[in-house]
Amino acid sequence: MESRYSGEIAGASAAASAPVGGGEAAAGPWYRQVTRDQWRAFWAVFLGWIVDSFDFNILTFIVIDIQHSFSVDRALAGALGTVTLAMRLLGGTLAGTAADKWGRKLPLLLSVLWFSVFACLAGFSTSYAMLFVLRALFGLGMGGEWAAGMPLVLEHWPTRLRGLVSGLLLGGWYWGYLLAAAAFQFLHPLFSGTPDLAWRAMFWVCLVPALFTLWIRTRVPESPVWLELQRRRNAGLQPGAAAAPRISLTRIFQMDLIGTTLRTTLVVGAFMCIYYSVNFWYPTVLRDAGRPVLPYLAAFNLGAISGTALWGRLSEGRLGRRGAVTITVVLGFASLPFYLHATDPRVLGLGALMMGFFGMGIWGMAPAYSNEQFPTEVRGVGPGFCYHAAAAIGSLMPLLLGALQDRGFKTADAMSAAMVLSGVAAMVIWLGPETRGRDFTS
């Protein structure tokens, strides 16, 4: 297998140790310090993350239509989100293990292709059970995007810009959410006379991004850090290489890493609970109140796009990853009255912008934080497993909040309480070390 990479490995060592990948400053604006190959890696994962987000979040806009089509209650409708998130754990673990063994690029390509196809097939469901299974299979492919894609970018980019690129990458999720809102605003009304067809059409458009995999295959370079690790192993220069487990998944549960694995899962799990507490049922809150969806979601997602980038960048300074996470949690709490409990449309719009900028700003640190926890040999499966185990924790939120609504709780009250509890749980991050600037070549 290693011989496949012999041509790439020759230049990988230099790429991995070049100044642009180090921690020292370079002349000129930051975007000129990033090479063409580094930008290609960024765009491959950024655009894949947009597609991932679009395909997942389209469900949040049409969950009421699906509920009516198959005559299910809101708990079962919310379970469609839960099963998708739960299956991401298996998908992320498989893709992360493959990324450690065969490189970051191939699992990324297969993941984008997989979730695009199954998102489209969901539109042909003839029963709730069929839709449930197809969304579960969609989640399996969705899991690979983070596990393979995030280390691909973070191992390419300079250490000193890792927080910034982390935030920029996460902004792709909110661009995808915004595109899903736009599709709902302009495509869904075309089928207003046939609501059963409307939600299906929203799923069918998810197939188009599968064509993006052709560009990933031909234009995106493999991670130089991963290639350097293979070179060192082949040359017998990697300490402990002979003792390395054949399946990287087992490595993250060994004594020296199991604490890191559990803590990272809990921290990102709290992030997930925050996100799904205030996000999954938000379009339903707006629709139930007779409000237009697009303006508020535009404010929310534009706030999140700028917030993830800014807070990711700020986490490179004195705040560090832990300080930036703490501040965004507190300011997210302060945004709740404006976001969910106001009645004036202008205040609600301001609240959506604030929740995006502050409450979702926490995600600007997530890729860098989770990838900095693990050594190169398990940087696919480690962050991949933790992120998707965290998603499995967060997957309880759509179901739990749906069940609370069925029992008479106001949606906004249930969402607020869930976010506060989740934010408090995120303070587990202080039980671990500050990882800002950690060396990726080890």
List pLDDT tens digits, range 421-432. Answer: 999 999 999 999
Closest CA to 199 of 63, 293, 290: 63
Q: Which two tokens stand for residue 296?
A: 């508020």
**Which residues neighbour 343 within 8 Å (Cβ) at sequence distance 6 or greater?**
none
CA-to-CA distance for 358 and 352, rounded, in angstroms?
Answer: 10
The matching CATH number, chosen from 1.20.1250.20, 1.10.10.10, 3.30.360.10, 2.60.40.180, for 35-227+249-431 is 1.20.1250.20
Q: 408 φ, ψ to 5°? A: 100, 0
pTM, full prediction: 0.77
- The predicted-structure confidence for 251-304, as pLDDT tens digits, reads as follows 889 998 999 999 999 999 999 999 988 888 888 888 888 888 889 988 998 999
Angle separating helix axes 320-340 and 255-279, nearest 10 degrees: 20
In order along the chain (442 residues), what is the average pLDDT of each group of 10 residues? Answer: 37 40 56 84 86 84 86 83 82 85 85 87 93 92 82 86 88 87 84 82 80 71 82 68 61 91 95 90 85 89 93 91 95 94 93 95 90 87 87 83 85 90 94 85 59
**Using a CB cutoff of 8 Å and minimum separation of 24, what contacts does 72-75 make?**
72/128, 73/402, 73/406, 74/402, 74/403, 74/405, 74/406, 75/399, 75/402, 75/403, 75/406
User: Which DSSP category does 221 fall into?
Assistant: P
pLDDT of residue 85: 77
d(CA 371, CA 107): 17
- Cα dihedral sign, 11-12-13-16: positive
User: Can you tell me the distance from the alpha carbon of 39 to that of 32, in angstroms, rounded to the nearest whole number?
Assistant: 10
Phi, psi of 197 (to 5 degrees): -80, -30
pLDDT, residue 10, reads: 39
pLDDT of the residue at 306: 94
- Which residues are CB-neighbours of 149 under 8 A, at least 6 positions away? 44, 45, 48, 49, 104, 108, 111
Determine the Cα–Cα distance for residues 62 and 41; give it in Å rounded to an integer: 33
Distance CA 214, CA 55 (A): 19
